[in-house]
Structure 1
Amino acid sequence: MTTLWRSLACPLCQRIRLISHNVGYLAPFASRRHASSKSPENHAGQIDMSQFPVENIRNFSIIAHVDHGKSTLADRLLEITGTISQEASNKQVLDKLQVERERGITVKAQTASMVHQYQGKTYLLNLIDTPGHVDFNYEVSRSLAACQGVLLLVDANQGVQAQTVANFYLAFEAELAIIPVINKIDLKQADVESTEEQMRRLFDFKNEDLFKISAKLGINCEEILDAVIQRIPPPKSDPSKPWKALLFDSTYNHFRGAVTNVAVIDGKVQQGDKISSAHNSKVYEVQELGIMSPDYQSTQELHAGQVGYLIAGMKSIQEARIGDTLHLSSSPVEPLPGFKPAKPMVFGGIFPMEQSEYRDLKVAVDRLTLNDSSVTVAKDSSPALGLGFRLGFLGLLHMEVFNQRLEQEYNATAIVTTPSVPCKARLSSEKLIKQYKTDEITIFSPAEFPEKRDVTEYLEPIVMGTIITPDVHLNKIFSLCEAKRGEQVDFTYIDASRVLLKYKLPLNEIVVDFYDLLKSITSGYASFDYEDHSYEPSDLVKLDVLLNGQVINELSTIVHKDKAYPVGKTLASKLKDVIPRQLYEVVIQAALGNKVIARETIRAYKKNVLAKCYGGDISRKMKLLKRQAEGKKRMKKIGNVDIPKDAFISVLKR
């Protein structure tokens, strides 16, 4: 306790002590943050990578729940090893995107190489800082494919959270070495003992395996580097074999094309080599390669076991395919198994504000999907909004971040429609089975929804949700999950006051507002994570919106039968507020097939045809009113309701 107090009393002295013993080994890396540029075109100060044999290389990642201190720990490790200079402004050094700094979250995994001295030997440590939010779990899985071990970080103030559990099993299934770390021990509210108990109970860690640190103050962070060398094995690589590498990430550079991140499995590659990929037969010439430390640092070659970047003139996402195997064109190799591809959970339409901007939006989407390969893209069109795209995302936050990056990085303003999830239908109609060449189809939009008479049953996607919460909020959470058609699977106390709940939940019910409602009813103390579970039979219906009897396809949606009335009532009420009044009455209806379940009416503008009549017989007034009514009736038959684009945007937009 005395040692901890002294460390807290003088954090500057503590951090100076941590980096002092590394000074003699930092010549290639010192002050590089100021000398290098964020562009991969910097060639200054090339490093001899042959000085790092396979047994002196460690590739590891930091995984944790969101806001548990991953980026802060990465900053301290980079400072301790001298990779970046010690400055007060060193905050989120690896979070290079504007959206990451604005939201305070990590969106894209970033790699940084460090040199560390241990027991008289020089080691090359390749660190990958990963996102923490569930929507970016694919980034974590791709990062783990290039690692042999992980640091599992837990906040001593918050304890084990839902994404902590998910990340642990992700690393466990990948058979990686796991180093448990408890962070933020300097906080007054930190409950280290309770956090230790949770990690023992959930993950079966021993007390002596746990590291207790403060990444903000640098307390005990040097021990983490020593543990990485001791506990994480070197890569299983063979320098004598032909060059083979895993392409695990890529970014787009306006001048150089795709900048690919590779983990070298065997052999070596150098500038000028002719390379190819297992995915296509194209031959590329290596224009530049190197490591990130944390900015691009050019080298002459990359050797077995090392992680770095490579530029070879790849211009599209089809060429820089994530999970591809790269090899020398003269020495083909057996492709690597790669890793599980991303499975979109949420779909949404993106349309340009004006159709003249469609081409610019297409270029922006293509380039951004090269940076984020977990997004799926398909062309789409709408009579109201014109040409656009239907994109698949891993979650709602992923969808929001993608749209924000479009605006910030490519200056492309787009209309994003309300999110939807794919469902399935088992067909009974022989005509449809012959048309689709299968008896089970996946439905991505309401326009593809088959009639009930042609279907044996509908199926909707179900996810397995994990909720960790203080037990005082249990009743509210039970009510919320029941309202969302959830089914409880597990109930476990992880310590004296915190509970782990597992629920099977329809994805359609949680995709929009479940997370916000959960945070609201628990005052922000509950955490939520989910993973794909299965498709299960469900009573789904297609909800149509009609204006004066005409179906508006853009506003149709697929909902559960029990939720059809409230959804229909909400849509009709929204449209009544945004559609301008006409010279005739406009009837807004929400219908299931031929059955109307909700209705709103927009009253017509009324001209006072009796204004010129004063006195006289009542029959004259009645004649004028009858003629006006006939005119409105005739106008309603031949006229169309003019729905402005703003009305569609306000209804369709999230």
Structure 2
Amino acid sequence: MKNLRNFCIIAHIDHGKSTLADRLIEFTNTVQKRDMMNQLLDDMDLERERGITIKSHAIQMQYPKDGEIYTFNLIDTPGHVDFSYEVSRSIAACEGALLIVDASQGIEAQTISNLYLAINHDLEIIPVLNKIDLPGAMPEEVSDQIIDLIGCKKEDIIHASGKEGIGIQDILDAVVTRIPAPKGNPEEPLQALIFDSTFNSYRGIEVIFRVYNGEIRKGDRVKFMNTGKEYFADEIGTLGLEQEPKSIIKTGDVGYLISGIKEAKEVKVGDTITHVANPCKSAIQGFEEVKPMVFAGIYPVETSEFEDLRDAMEKLQLNDASLVWEPETSMALGFGFRCGFLGMLHMEIVQERLEREFDMTVITTVPSVKFKVLTTANEELWVSAPSDLPEPNLINIIEEPYIKAQIITKSEYTGVIMSLCMDKRGILINQIYLTTDRVELTFDMPLSEVVFDFFDRLKTISRGYASLDYEYKGYEPGNMVKLDIMLNGEKVDALSAIVHRDKAYDWGKRLCEKLRELLPRQQFEIAIQAAIGQKIIARETVKALRKDVLAKCYGGDISRKRKLLEKQKKGKKRMRQVGNVEIPQEAFMAVLKLD
């Protein structure tokens, strides 16, 4: 155990985590030269293309120092705020962390939030200043920022470049000398933490865990404490680039377990593994069910592809246990699924993976959040789709989820960012100057305002300099109403939304105007209305296509012309009662891109 080191890499998006992990793997000869490629641990095409880590990965390396061989378990973590629960479990499986900061960009919001997670778990932090070879690098200024943040000495900061391979030896030496060996008692009953899982189509779910106390042997009967399920450990082993089967995994080590589990729902990140015969006294602290934050309907473009979409969703859920879905129907779009996502990036990724991996073209409805409704009969309802919201006369209070948002930006953009947040119903809680030209702003904001386009607009007005991190705060009462869109008096459920009363008029007016442009003209007049309950708040009209019935009248009395026009008007009126309006695909898409 004294030669074991478990550590993870934490950083903001695009500060060079995966590149640095590549260099560490290369330096310790963990992977043959011919198998080496960039972003080795990111095995999805999507991760490579976008340059982001979506799933955390673990790999074991051997490093000789002073005549002894040390075993390193490196865990690469995602950097995006949507996956912060996964990051917290990866951190719980380690004793130390490499804190990577880009020398040209300085400290950003995720750096701070992940650092606090690591400090709360008492991890040893090794600060690394990455990308020092860039012409725009500011090693002195950024070093001062790191010293202010974690209170280390200047000589503790390692200067490195993942691209050029500078400082890699120093990092490996620091891991040996500064990060403590795992603590744990080999004599106690087995207690292990699940911090990741992957799906293998031949062997079921592979569970990746870290042993805290005791040991696990091949063939043991084990139990997952939070789900209560029992399994046989058919195969266990450690994680190189390929899996290496072992007969025993001891205290402090990281390994994988295969026991033919078929359902992703049975394996929960953060759960505790123990023996059935000799269980440990308590589960490891910090386990949470993954809570989806953003909800949207996903529908197949062709209604006949519904079953194919169901298969695709089931397969996708095996790889991504944080995706939650249930079937739902819509009058306008037919059969589809109501899906819960961790955030907007997660939603984009799921949509893209459906298109790439399963060739499914899908329509996504307007994203919304989960509201808590207290009815007049004192019942508590959870509403994630506008169609589930009761009538206004049955509602007592609607509560909406709030988040605490931390925005770090250059001081020159403070004004525009404040006005954006105020516009999104945010309340300024705190404002701290980290350095002379970097400000940290803290806002309380409703999540429903953030899910739509907040992040894009924040990046636009700050020219890419602002970084956002948020944590879930709880529910607070809000003046929310359901906005319905009606065509010829018929409600179109796929276009309705739950919005704040102050914004409902503006939202309804813009929606009606947009639809007027997009709906094709019919033989009869179409009324497009936005309504709250029974009250119409906005209206636009698509004029009817009319045949020129006066073409044959030249000269003569006006009464002849009027008679023909009246006859046409009656026909149009009758047609409007029986005619129905088809909504083209583009109309749904445009509503999503309303801003």
Same fold (TM over 0.5): yes
Q: Which moved more, 1:337-346 or 1:414-423?
A: 337-346
* Contact 2:198–2:319 (Cα < 8 Å) also in 1: yes
What is the DSSP-based 3-state SS (H/G/I as helix, E as strand, rest coil) of the residue aligned with 2:436? coil
Q: Please tell me whether residue 64 in structure 1 is matched to residue 15 in structure 2.
A: no
Code of the residue aligned with 2:329 in structure 1: it is S
Between the aligned partners of 1:236 and 1:380, the Cα distance in structure 2 is 49
2:325 is aligned to: 377
- Cα gap change, 1:235/1:381 in structure 2, threshold over 3 Å: closer, same or farther? farther
Other-structure match for 2:269: 322
Which residue in the other structure is 1:626 paired with? 566
The count of residues paired between Structure 1 and Structure 2 equals 593
Query: Per-residue deviation at 1:162?
Result: 0.6
Please state how far the C-alpha of 1:181 moved relative to its aligned partner: 1.6
Q: Work out which of the residue numbers 519, 530, 540 in structure 1 matches 2:480.
A: 540
The one of 346, 353, 356 equivalent to 2:301 is: 353
Q: 1:489 aligns with which of 429, 432, 449?
A: 429
- Residue 585 of structure 1 is matched in structure 2 by 525
1:96 Cα shift? 0.6
* C-alpha distance in 2 between matches for 1:194 and 1:471: 16
Q: Does 1:386 align with 2:334?
A: yes
Give 3-state SS (helix, strand or coil) of 1:525's partner: coil
Most deviating of 216-225 and 367-376: 367-376
Confirm whether residue 419 of structure 1 aligns to residue 367 of structure 2. yes
Kept after mapping to 2: 8 A contact 1:422/1:443? yes
CA shift for structure 1 position 106? 0.8
The CA deviation at 1:647 is 3.5
RMSD: 2.3
Whether 2:209 is the aligned partner of 1:262: answer yes
**Compared CA separation, residues 346 and 497, structure 1 to 2 (3 A):** same
Q: Does 1:55 align with 2:55?
A: no
598-607 or 383-392, which moves further after superposition? Answer: 383-392
Contact 1:425 1:441 in 2 (8 A): yes
1:73: how far off? 1.0
CA distance in 1, matches of 2:584, 2:466: 42
SS in structure 2 of the partner of residue 513 of structure 1: helix
Alignment of 1:222-237 (within 5 A): 222-237=169-184
Q: CA deviation at 1:131?
A: 1.1
Per-residue CA deviations over 1:28-66 (Å, capped at 9, x if unaligned) read: xxxxxxxxxxxxxxxxxxxxxxxxxx2221111101100
What CA distance in whole angstroms lies between the structure 2 residues aligned with 1:415 and 1:367? 19
Residue equivalent to 2:343: 395
Q: Contact 1:194/1:495 (CA < 8 Å) preserved in 2?
A: no
CA–CA distance in structure 2, aligned partners of residues 359 and 328 of structure 1: 40
Partner of 1:74: 21
Task: Decide whether aligned partners of structure 1 residues 286 and 357 sit closer, same or farther in structure 2, where only a CA change above 3 A counts.
Answer: farther
Q: What is residue 340 of structure 1 aligned with on the other side?
A: 288
Task: Single out whichever of 324-333 and 220-229 deviates more from structure 2.
Answer: 324-333
Match of 1:526 in 2: 466
In structure 2, which of residues 379, 396, 406 is the aligned counterpart of residue 466 of structure 1?
406
Q: How does 1:185-224 map to 2 (within 5 A)?
A: 185-224=132-171
Deviation at 1:634, TM superposition (A): 1.4
The gaps in structure 2 that reach 5 residues or longer are: none
Cα distance, 1:293–1:89 mapped onto 2, change above 3 Å: closer
Q: CA deviation at 1:86?
A: 4.6
Native 8 Å contact 1:519 1:525 kept in 2: yes
For the residue of structure 1 that corresponds to 2:460, the secondary structure is helix
1:327 partner amino acid: T
Q: Distance in 2 between matches of 1:158 and 1:470?
A: 11
What amino acid maps onto 1:482 in structure 2?
Answer: M
Contact 1:252 1:367 in 2 (8 A): no
Task: Map 1:67-466; keep pairs closer than 5 Å.
Answer: 67-86=14-33, 90-279=37-226, 283-334=230-281, 335-427=283-375, 429-430=376-377, 433=378, 436=379, 440-466=380-406
Contact 1:324 1:338 in 2 (8 A): no
Residue 541 of structure 1: CA displacement? 1.6
Q: CA deviation at 1:289?
A: 2.8
Counterpart for residue 451 of structure 2: 511
Q: 1:264 to 1:413 in 2, by over 3 A?
A: farther
Rate the CA distance shift 1:341–1:152 in 2: closer, same or farther, 3 A: farther
Q: Distance between the aligned counterparts of 1:88 and 1:182, measured in 2?
A: 28
Out of 184-193 and 70-79, give the one that drifted further: 184-193
Alpha-carbon separation, structure 1, partners of 2:261 and 2:216: 17
Name which of 414, 432, 439 aligns with 1:499: 439
- Partner deviation per Cα, 1:600-639 (whole Å, 9 max, x = no partner): 1111111222334455544333222211111111121233
Kindly state the Cα deviation for residue 75 of structure 1 after the two structures are TM-superposed.
Answer: 0.6
The Cα of 1:503 is off from its aligned counterpart by 1.5
Question: Taking every aligned residue pair, what percent have the same amino acid on both sides?
Answer: 49
SS in 1 for 2:545: coil
2:591 partner amino acid: V
Secondary structure in 2 aligned to 1:609?
coil
Change (3 A) 1:88 1:219: farther
Instruction: Give the Cα separation in 1 of the matches to 2:457 and 2:591.
Output: 21
Q: Distance in 2 between matches of 1:380 and 1:652?
A: 19
Q: Which runs of 5+ in 1 are unaligned?
A: 1-53
Q: CA deviation at 1:91?
A: 1.4
Letter in 2 for 1:522: S
Normalization by structure 2: what TM-score?
0.94
Q: Which has the bigger relative contact order, CA under 8 A and spacing at least 6?
A: 1
Give 1:447 deviation, angstroms. 2.2
